Structure 1
Amino acid sequence: MRISTMLFCAALVLGQGAAMAASDPVVMSFATVGDSRADPASAATAQDKVYLQNTRALSRILREIQAAKPKALFFNGDMIMGYTADQGAIARQYAYWRGMTAGLMENGTYVVPVTGNHEMQFKHTDAAGTTTKTARLENEELWRASMGDLILDTARWKAVTGIEASAFDAGNAPPVGGPDGNQTSQSQLTFSFDAGGSHFAVIDTDPVGNDGHGPAHWLAEDFRQARARGARRFFVFGHKPAYTYYFKDGVETDGMDIYPDNAKAFWQVMEEYGGAYFCGHQHIFNAQQPARADGGKAWQVMVGSGGSPFSAKDGDSRNPQDRSYAWALVKVHASGKVRIEVYGFDEHYGKTKRLRTIQF
């Protein structure tokens, strides 16, 4: 083939790509990741021993997200170590994490925080040596004090992203004493809104008195109302997965699937609306379709890989992605098509690579 012919073909392909992009533009984009808190016993630097953050991994992920210019970042919990009654220490950890993410807010990406067990729970060891982790009202109140200004400032969202956020109501949360079993107000812990033709729901998976549960009943009604408003795509962000990722034999079940009926009810909603659930808790990247064997199409995308110690210890898995720091970039097109691209780098901080592409 002559060089002139090759150049013509290349130009034709580029032209077709540009035409496709123009005919089906991206109307909403967002990034998502979670679990950046450090382990006090293995924090890498003196700084991280104080603030209990994996600064090196998170700062690199945030730089890469900023370069991609999504409209929002949903951070799926465990941004602090928590697990202490020292309110000063918790406030210091929140402040450090917020300082790290502040640059995104100044450059077109609104930061939406999501509760995790380290934010909501307190760890207690009794005289017999048994350790329990339970959510506390005090932690819910500290969350509102530390993150409430972001949940959700619709005027600031518009100023940062250039698009409207609508249908947000701080009172739209699972009711106390309702069918989801909540015992305390979930305002600013579980909430939802519309933007760019899509519906976004954020859930607390460790509410007081109901640890490890997703609000399936609330989500079903919330999605029903969103569809009636014209929402075409449905995205949910929580900390604990609906279904545990078993990257090796002997992995302990640690999601909503500890309570199988709850996981099933939650996932039925996701399937009915063809949604995607982004979560963390396990410090690993994994994408699965839990109901695929039965014809299901909904996705669970676990990106609990923002810097916390890897769930897969060295030698646990032959899949190198199981020990990668990773984050997801999601683009929603005018046609309703969704493209999820997961990027990551290995434990040695090598070159960032695209780990997975999902389209639906």
Structure 2
Amino acid sequence: MKRIVRTGLCALGLILVTQTMTRAVGGAVKEAPWKFAVLCDTRSNPCVDPGGGAQGVNVAALGKMASAVAAEKVDVVLVPGDVALGNGYGCTPPTPGPNSPESQYQLWRKVMSPVYDSGARVLPVRGNHEMDRDAVMSDWSSCRKRVPVESRLLDAYRKVFNDPYIPKNGPENQKGLTYALPHKNALFVGFDQIVDQFQVNQQWFDRVIAKDKREHLFVFGHYPAFAVKHKDCLACYAPARDRFWDAIGAAGGSMYFCGHDHLYDRAVITDSRGHKIQQVLVGNGGAPFSHFPGPYGDKRVAGAEHLENVYGYVVVTVDGAKVSAKLMVLDVQSGAWRNADAF
């Protein structure tokens, strides 16, 4: 009888293991498929309410996204900047100033509670609205650097987004802001592009991807590498941007996620060695919508999909060596989500 019980327990254990892992050809163990999501630019419109106003966050749009993303059962959520309004900007007629940065960030976390409660790791990086008032008052057609002048924004950001799973392994002056996080068979690298405006720390990135070679590399930052609507992006330093793009391609990366422009745009840019890398701009998270009639500023940019005036997020599925993604957009009238892009 004891032998029968042991045999039954062993069989049950084997079934449980095979439910989460499959065995590939040659006996190698293959992990079960897993997912991550991308959303950003969830800030409010300070000049219009509804739209978040002084709260700093588009609560209506983000709340619907948070519930939908939690239902996707993702492991990780990438947030490439502009989670909240920050210091806002001038409105005509004038409107009350936004709430304090800390209260805006805390509100964002509260609205995102379905995602946090699901156990997903939420990985934000800063955007220009996490910097200073000058950043949002300036000429968006310019590459003029903005000098951060208000430490209270950074202090509030560090206080609120200080989850223990966010690594402190970035460059010395960007600890907790720029970081690399290994997860299963992938490496996530998030860049703060505010400390060094419109740039990444290439030496640090080179060391990271040389040391941690995984099956997949996913990179994200607030600014597009190749300009879409706004000119202030990594294209301001084109030679450095090209080195960054080549490094992604050489390390096997195929996607760079960003925001800044308040729309959805997916394009393919081939690096100098022939690697095709997708720039996936997911800036339609709740901020006032943008319009981009084209063309792109760089002839190497090959547009793949472009959508405006819809809130949305991206879900990426990693199944061994295979990666697939979908864009989900919201029908505001019905409250239903639909698949609007697949790649």
TM > 0.5 fold call: yes
The answer to whether the 8 A contact 1:26-1:331 is kept is no
Please tell me the residue identity of whatever aligns with 1:174.
P
Residue in structure 2 matched with residue 193 of structure 1 by the alignment: 181
Task: Identify the residue that residue 299 of structure 2 maps to in structure 1.
Answer: none
Which runs of structure 2 are paired with 1:140-289 in the superposition (5 Å)?
A: 140-150=154-164, 152=166, 168=167, 170=168, 172-175=169-172, 185-207=173-195, 210-227=196-213, 231-245=214-228, 251-275=229-253, 276-289=255-268
Provide the rounded CA distance (Å) in 1 between the counterparts of 2:155 and 2:243: 28
My pick for the range that moved more, 90-99 or 211-220, is: 211-220
| Residue deviations 1:187-237 (CA, integer Å, cap 9, x gap) | 100011211111111110111xx212122222121111111xxx1111112
- How far apart, CA to CA, are the structure 2 residues paired with 1:255 and 1:348? 34
For residues 257 and 230 of structure 2, what CA distance do their matches in structure 1 show? Answer: 20
CA distance in 2, matches of 1:117, 1:299: 23
| Number of the residue aligned with 1:54 | 58
Contact 2:310/2:330, CA 8 A, preserved across alignment: yes
Out of 322, 336, 339, the residue aligned to residue 337 of structure 1 is 322
Between the aligned partners of 1:309 and 1:111, the Cα distance in structure 2 is 23
Instruction: Establish whether residue 305 from structure 1 lines up as the match of residue 264 from structure 2.
Output: no
Q: CA deviation at 1:27?
A: 4.0
Letter in structure 1 aligned against 2:170 = A
Instruction: State how far apart, in whole Å, the 1-side matches of 2:78 and 2:294 are.
Output: 29
Q: Distance in 1 between the 2:340 and 2:272 partners? A: 24
TM-superposition CA deviations, 1:112-139 (whole Å, max 9, x none): 222111112331779xxx9974334713
Aligned with residue 83 of structure 2, among 75, 79, 85: 79
2:66 maps to amino acid = L
The amino acid across from 2:38 in the alignment is T
Aligned mates of 2:57, 2:99 — CA distance in 1: 16
1:295 Cα deviation from its structure 2 partner: 2.8
Q: Find 1:63's aligned residue among 67, 73, 77.
A: 67
- Aligned Cα RMSD in Å? 3.1
Q: AA paired with 1:308?
A: A
Could you tell me how far 1:58 is from its partner in structure 2?
Answer: 1.1
User: What residue in structure 2 maps to residue 120 of structure 1?
Assistant: 131
- C-alpha distance 150-321 of structure 1, shift in aligned 2 (>3 A): farther
Instruction: Note the alpha carbon deviations across 1:297-345, whole angstroms, 9 max, x for none.
Output: 22211101101111118x999x8722221211111112x2111111113
Q: Is the 8 A contact 2:82 2:130 kept in 1?
A: yes
Count of matched residue positions in the alignment of Structure 1 and Structure 2: 295
What is the percentage of aligned positions where both structures have the same residue?
Answer: 25
| SS of alignment partner, residue 161 of structure 2 | helix
In the TM superposition, residue 88 of structure 1 has moved relative to its aligned partner by 6.5
Contact 1:174 1:218 in 2 (8 A): yes
Q: After superposition, where does 1:27-38 map in structure 2 within 5 Å? A: 27-38=33-44
Q: Distance in 1 between matches of 2:273 and 2:222?
A: 25
The answer to whether the 8 A contact 2:67-2:114 is kept is no
Amino acid at match of 1:239: H
What is the identity, as a one-letter code, of the residue corresponding to 2:282? V
Give the AA of the match of 1:280: G
Give the deviation of 1:242 after TM superposition. 0.7
SS of 1:123 mapped into structure 2: helix
8 A Cα contact 2:37 2:313, kept in partner:
yes
**What amino acid does structure 2 have at the position aligned with 1:51?**
Q
Which whole-Å CA distance do the structure 2 matches of 1:27 and 1:75 have between them? 22
Q: Which is helix-richer, 1 or 2?
A: 1
Unaligned runs of 5+ in 1: 1-18, 153-167, 176-184, 246-250
Conserved 8 A contact 2:55-2:99: no
Could you say if the C-alpha distance between residues 203 and 252 of structure 1 is closer, same or farther in structure 2, counting changes exceeding 3 Å?
closer
For residues 251-272 of structure 1, what are the alpha-carbon distances to aligned partners after superposition, in whole Å with 9 as ceiling and x for unaligned?
Answer: 4422100121221121111111
Distance 1:84 1:30, change over 3 A: same
Question: Structure 1 residues 340, 36: closer, same or farther in 2, change over 3 A?
Answer: same
User: Per-residue displacement from partner, 1:59-84 (whole Å, max 9, x unpaired)?
Assistant: 11111111111011111110111136
- Secondary structure of the corresponding residue to residue 149 of structure 1: coil
Q: Which runs of 5+ in 2 are unaligned?
A: 1-18, 25-29, 90-96, 296-304
For residue 243 of structure 2, give the secondary structure of its aligned residue in structure 1: helix
Report if aligned partners of 2:314, 2:328 keep a CA contact under 8 Å in 1. Answer: yes
Q: Which residue identity does 1:173 align to in structure 2?
A: G
- Would the alpha carbon gap of residues 80 and 216 (structure 1) be closer, same or farther in structure 2, given more than 3 Å must change? same
